[in-house]
Amino acid sequence: MSDRPPFLGAGEISAFASAGTWALASVLYARALRDRPAAEAVWFKNSVGALVLAIVGFAIGPALGGGLPPLDRMPWLAVSALFSVLLGDLLYFVAIRHIGVSRAVILSLLTPALTALGAWPMRGEAPGALTLTGVGLIVGGSAWIELGHLGRGKANALGVAAGLGCAFAWACGNLTMKEGI
């Protein structure tokens, strides 16, 4: 398998599509499944997601990054799925329930920063000055917004802990996913 993307901009397009999908799914969850347990939302989202991913993956074929991964990479994908798809998503939906969509999303924005910082010791991917600046802006901006809520007495410890836990779980999933793909 090649580490190169199938075409120039594939990663960026995928990242923006993922962000848009998450935004839409978060709003739909907050409206449609608000009174349902977070675990139901996770199972529903991941069942639909797995079906769509399977269809798209097999339709585009291995040349464009689809198809099945080699069997020796499956354990890494399973670990990644446990962190990301099960634990991270569950915590995300718990956070939405307790602190709302906008605050849950802001806390989940820590995922790229945590992933970049985790890739440094785990994968030897030392971030450059621009990356570290971005990490600082993400963490600082998230803290600034969240501290504003805390200052107005809108603290919800479970929601904030779930939002932070979701970002950490997703970062762990990202770091283990690299070995699986």
Closest CA to 164 of 179, 143, 144, 178: 143
Query: Scanning the structure block, which residue is given the tokens 């709003």?
Result: 27
Residue 172: predicted pLDDT: 93
Looking at residue 151, its pLDDT comes to 61
Closest CA to 146 of 108, 112, 114, 103: 103
Residues 6+ apart with CB under 8 A from 105: 22, 23, 26
Cα 23 → chain centroid: 12
Fill in the amino acid letter for 134.
G
Lookup: tokens for 109: 């924005």
Per-residue pLDDT of the chain (181 residues; tens, 9 = 90+): 456 767 788 778 877 887 787 778 777 777 766 677 878 877 887 788 788 878 888 888 777 777 777 788 888 888 888 898 889 999 998 998 888 888 888 888 889 889 988 999 988 888 889 888 988 888 888 878 777 776 665 668 899 899 999 999 999 999 988 777 7
Place of tokens 């836990």: 165
> What local confidence, expressed as pLDDT, does residue 152 receive?
66
